[in-house]
Structure 1
Amino acid sequence: MSTQTPTHDVVILGSGIAGSTLGAVLARSGASVLIADAGTHPRFAVGESMIPQLVSWLQVLAERYDVPEFEALTDVTAINTKVSNTFGRKQHFGFMLHRPGQEPDPTQAHQFVIPDALTSASHLFRQDSDAYLLRVAIGHGCDTRQQWRAEKIDFDDDGVTVIGTDGHEIRARYLVDASGFRSPLADHLGLREEPARFRHHSRSLFTHMIGVRPFDDVIEVPEASRPPVPWHNGTMHHIFERGWFWIIPFDNHELSRNPLCSVGVTLDPRLYPKPEGVGAEEEFAALLSRFPAVERQFEGARKVREWVSTGRLQYSSHQTVGRRWCLMSHAAGFLDPLYSRGMSNTFEIIHALAPRLLAALADDDFEEKRFRHVEDLEQGLLDYNDTLVNCSFIAFSHFRLWDAVFRVWGSGNTPGTLRINNALRAFRTHRDPSVFDALENAPHTGLWWPDNDAFKTLLDATAETCAQYEAKLIDGDRAADIILGLIEESEAVHPGFGWKDVNQRFIHPDRAQIADFLQWAARSPIPALSTIGRESLDALRAAGAAESPAAEGDR
């Protein structure tokens, strides 16, 4: 055990998107930070689809900690201009149901178009975005050790010593492990739960390819069933019983010069066990042959890197913070990426950890209780998303039930994002970070809309109903009727976007509908919802975006 005086305040294991972002925040705030990584940049990484909450949290980090370079990642035009011209556009979440050997029914599809008022999101080409963030961290003062693998970790009263496979020692006051699944800290402290506690199961096959055709070009759809924006303009999810393909193009923005496409599939291994003696590429081709329309997308496509075939994706940890350490984000646990929550969760956790860690460094007090909220947040983000993803995998086998689960998921996204945006707007005005503390004062830590009891009740009832369907206690139509009835009755679900209308499968809110939603929210008897509505309406009016007589009369 080393007795050397720490040479750094914080050592971060992992220079990916999590470690580099946290390092930049801490170093910009005056901490001495070393980022150590077993690899180097640029490098391949999955987790490429942005969501509105991710953008909002990144904007919060940029403003609160004065790291303006983060802003380049919050807009698809800016990222292609300021980082590299390799990023795609994420205009929507698209879903289409497929059955083996059949053409898809175009009426069994959904599209949730991200409101322009919220964000202009991207498909991140991670080898470029992650290398950019590491450069940002270095620019703000972080030291680095790349191609250096941690082998041994020792804690004592004064700090932590990390020893590499080359024998070199790093001494710091605090350790953050942001390295992912092969976490040295999780191994050292025996933090992994065996098996993972999560209810859903999935494994994955994935790569990058060239020549993947836009789905719009391989399927004929009657005009009445065409989505509001092309399928190629967002993240396409081809869903089937207990599995889904993803199509994430990087060539769908006018500034991008990247012809590649991220592709993959996740499968429940209980229904689709990993075949012995069959390679990942061969297995993927066999899966494609079951779904004619998806297979047509890949005619003439070829891989540009080797396929990856995983075991079960899900892993969890029974503890994520302790005295002088934090197991952060994907080092703490991992879920199926169906709703692209991973990076959003990462930035939310960074926002929770950074102020506590900076205060602990200032006070020289690293007791675990100071970081209790970080623990609760990490576990909550994983558990609530597990609930939703598990419901979705169950529902994929029955369209009406899946339609109901889709509506539960979607209806909470806009309010969940607006509450973050409102706090950021208040901070820009008053520069008072207590507005962010108020975001944490919510009863359902980790839920994407954490301060609304009615939404939490709706999610819980959805999970219970899907479990009854899975156990064959009720059929799919009965399960769908129950959840759709709950959506209709819920005070948390706005009727205007179409979440309560089963005939509306394409959700495309425009500014007028957003204004109508905010007026409805402002009148809500739910305090958290009415606050979102009032604050957001004030912002719209200040921007001159809500000019209708109804909006003025509602003031």
Structure 2
Amino acid sequence: MQQFDVVILGAGFGGSLTALLLDRIGLSVALVDRGTHPRFAIGESSTPAAGYLLQSLSAQYDLPQFEPFCKYGTWQQAHPDISCGIKRGFSYFAHTPHQPFQAQPSHGSELLVTANLSDTLADTHWYRADVDHWFVRQVEASNIVYRDQTAVTLQHNQPGWQIQGTRLGERVNLQANFLIDATGAAGIVARTLGITPETEFKTHSSAIFGHFRNVAPWQTILDGQGISQIDYPFNCDHSALHHVLSEGWMWQLRFNNGITSAGFVLDGVSDQQSWEALLERYPSIQQQFAEAECVAPEDGLRTTGRLQRGWKECAGSDWALLPHTAGFIDPLHSTGIAHTLCGIERLVTILEQHAGQGTLTGQLAAYSHSLQTERTLIDTLVACCYRSRHDFERFWLSTLFYFAAATSYEHLRFHEQQRPWLLCADDERFRQTVADWYELVSRDDLPVDYQTDWLQTARELLAPWDRVGLFEPAVPHMYYYTAAPEAEPR
């Protein structure tokens, strides 16, 4: 029997980083995982907020080895052996079924949003097999107890926990004053406690995805069709690339090891036949995958049921869920890594300042509420885009609600030194504004002549949070800079 202040279940990058931070503040920690590293994982697209949060945690808790991962340039200098991709921002291309991609006047079927000033300062796509493995090796190099290949059962002693399992034929028996669940969809703590699942979501999507080699760059397809890219603020493949489709959308994230993460996310339920059927419906995307080979997971493309999930309680007096365990909506806005880091920062601060005190339970209740509120806002922001995707001009306006949230968060965090909830989810007025836009784009009873008012309506709604001129790009749908910290935005 080993006794710990905190036991963490799940050794993805979130669980590993949390273990290292708690060790830094003087708590005894054990990290337990049922699998091994390296392993296939999805959820790879970072954002400016994620980079800034990781940098802040690295500095505050004296973990300088993590700082190079905050930007593409420093990553390449310090860890060229750890695969990643360059991400200058977000790109979107609207497709019509059974037709090659067609550029429209004033970039009416294209949208590129820059997040950073240069390749060196760019965000990254995390090749999770390498990154998660590196994170857990930092745990192994510390004085933290790490047990992989360990399936466990839990007993809640109220207070405290007993964690029992086996590893390579040997018994594992741990006791913890506090338990953190970083197991993602497995949600072992919530299931053990019988927490009620959250089932009410505005978004309803599913996915089919994998890692591929030999995916032709989208830039190559555009060149072959004679589509000019002279107005593009960056190479469109150096981004989180979104193909906007009648059925939903497709992501493409390129790593510097020749692998591309790609997946269709559909408004509804996917099935094993969806991949080939969707490629056949979109000939320009089909060209990209003409020579492609799925290389992970080992058993082929992975399909999901409904992606949206969550729990009605995310923390108690002696337990807490990390954000990806607390719930998930959809990968559309690349919120996963930033949300995990934001939640880790909040939870570690609570345990550092309130562990062993009468204030802990109240602080954990506030933590639970914050995760649920962030999840609801992300759900509404994503659902706005799904409701708008059949009209690309309206889709563009719906994305601006996300970009207004992201740039406002960055400004508050890094210019005003505040600690807002992710995407300003603690701003009740902003949440209501997004909800109002959602109700508007979801209506099917609007008169035809209302179409002319979409732009002005969005502009008026977002005016208090439009810090970067979202409605006034010099070139339509082409944003040459939006992020806050390195320099004042255009």
Would you call these one fold, judging by a TM-score over 0.5?
yes
Q: How does 1:358-437 map onto structure 2 within 5 Å?
A: 358-361=352-355, 363=356, 367-422=360-415
Deviation, structure 1 residue 87? 1.2
1:422 positional shift? 2.9
Partner of 2:446: 474
Deviations 1:323-346 (A, max 9, x none): 110011111111111011011000
Instruction: Give the superposition deviation at 1:486.
Output: 3.4
Distance 1:18 1:198, change over 3 A: same
Q: Residues 212-258 of structure 1, C-alpha deviation per residue, up to 9 Å, x if partnerless?
A: 0110101235437742212111111001124111110003xxxxxx1
Of 41-50 and 214-223, more deviation after overlay is shown by: 214-223
Match of 1:186 in 2: 190
Partner of 1:535: none
| Pairing 1:64–2:69 present | no
Q: Quick check: which one's strand share is greater?
A: 2
Task: Name the residue aligned to 1:215.
Answer: 218
Q: 1:508 aligns with which of 474, 480, 483?
A: 480
**SS of equivalent residue, structure 1 residue 337:** coil
Q: TM-score, normalised by structure 1?
A: 0.80
Q: 1:542 corresponds to which residue?
A: none
Q: Secondary structure at the match of 2:184?
A: coil
Please give the per-residue CA displacement for 1:102-121, whole angstroms capped at 9, x wherever unaligned.
12232211000112289521
Task: Indicate if the aligned counterparts of 1:313 and 1:336 stay in contact, CA closer than 8 A.
Answer: yes
Q: Distance in 1 between matches of 2:142 and 2:98?
A: 55
Pick which of 318-327 and 459-468 moved more: 459-468
Question: Mean Cα displacement is larger for which, 335-344 or 374-383?
Answer: 374-383
Task: Assess if the C-alpha contact under 8 Å between 1:153 and 1:185 holds in 2.
Answer: no
**CA–CA separation in structure 1 for the residues paired with 2:373 and 2:332:** 17
Q: 1:197: how far off?
A: 1.8
Query: Which residue number corresponds to residue 261 of structure 2?
Result: 262
SS in 2 for 1:218: helix
Cα distance per residue 1:79-111 (max 9 Å; x no partner): 233332421101120001111111223221100
User: Does residue 240 of the first structure (1) align with residue 237 of the second (2)?
Assistant: no
Identity within the alignment, %: 26
- Does the CA contact (< 8 Å) of 1:316 and 1:334 recur in 2? yes
Q: Secondary structure at the match of 1:304?
A: strand
Aligned residues of 2:481 and 2:489 also touching (Cα < 8 A): no
Q: Give the match for residue 461 of structure 1.
A: 436
Aligned residues: 476
Equivalence for 2:419: 439
**Structure 1 residue 514: deviation in Å?**
8.6
Using the alignment, how far apart are the partners of 1:52 and 1:76 within structure 2?
11
Greater Cα offset, 473-482 or 337-346: 473-482
Q: Is the 8 A contact 2:94 2:243 kept in 1?
A: yes
In structure 1, list runs of 5 or more residues that go unmatched: 252-257, 424-434, 519-555
Distance of 2:220 and 2:411 partners within structure 1:
35
For residues 530-551 of structure 1, what are the alpha-carbon distances to aligned partners after superposition, in whole Å with 9 as ceiling and x for unaligned?
A: xxxxxxxxxxxxxxxxxxxxxx
One-letter identity of the residue aligned with 2:396: D
Query: How many angstroms does 1:299 deviate by?
Result: 1.2
Whether the aligned pair in 1 keeps the contact of 2:253 and 2:260 (CA below 8 Å) is: yes
Matched, 1:101 2:94: no
2-side partners of 1:345 and 1:120: how far apart?
Answer: 19
- The residue aligned with 1:524 is none
Partner in structure 2 of residue 491 of structure 1: 463
Contact kept in structure 2, 1:401 and 1:477, CA below 8 Å: no
* Closer/same/farther in 2, CA of residues 12 and 514 from structure 1, 3 Å limit: closer
Q: Distance in 1 between matches of 2:359 and 2:155?
A: 17
Q: Distance in 2 between matches of 1:475 and 1:264?
A: 36
Q: Which residue of 1 aligns with 2:163?
A: 162
Asked if structure 2 preserves the Cα contact closer than 8 Å seen for 1:335 and 1:386, the reply is yes
**1:294 maps to what in 2?**
285
Distance across 1 between alignment mates of 2:70 and 2:386 = 30
How many Å separate the matches in 1 of 2:352 and 2:461? 45
Between 289-298 and 401-410, the greater mean CA deviation after superposition? 401-410
Q: TM-score, structure 2 length as denominator?
A: 0.90
Distance 1:29 1:178 in 2: 19
> Is 2:338 the counterpart of 1:344?
yes
Distance 1:44 1:484, change over 3 A: farther
Query: Aligned partners of 1:116 and 1:51: how far apart in 2?
Result: 13
Is 1:114 paired with 2:93?
A: no
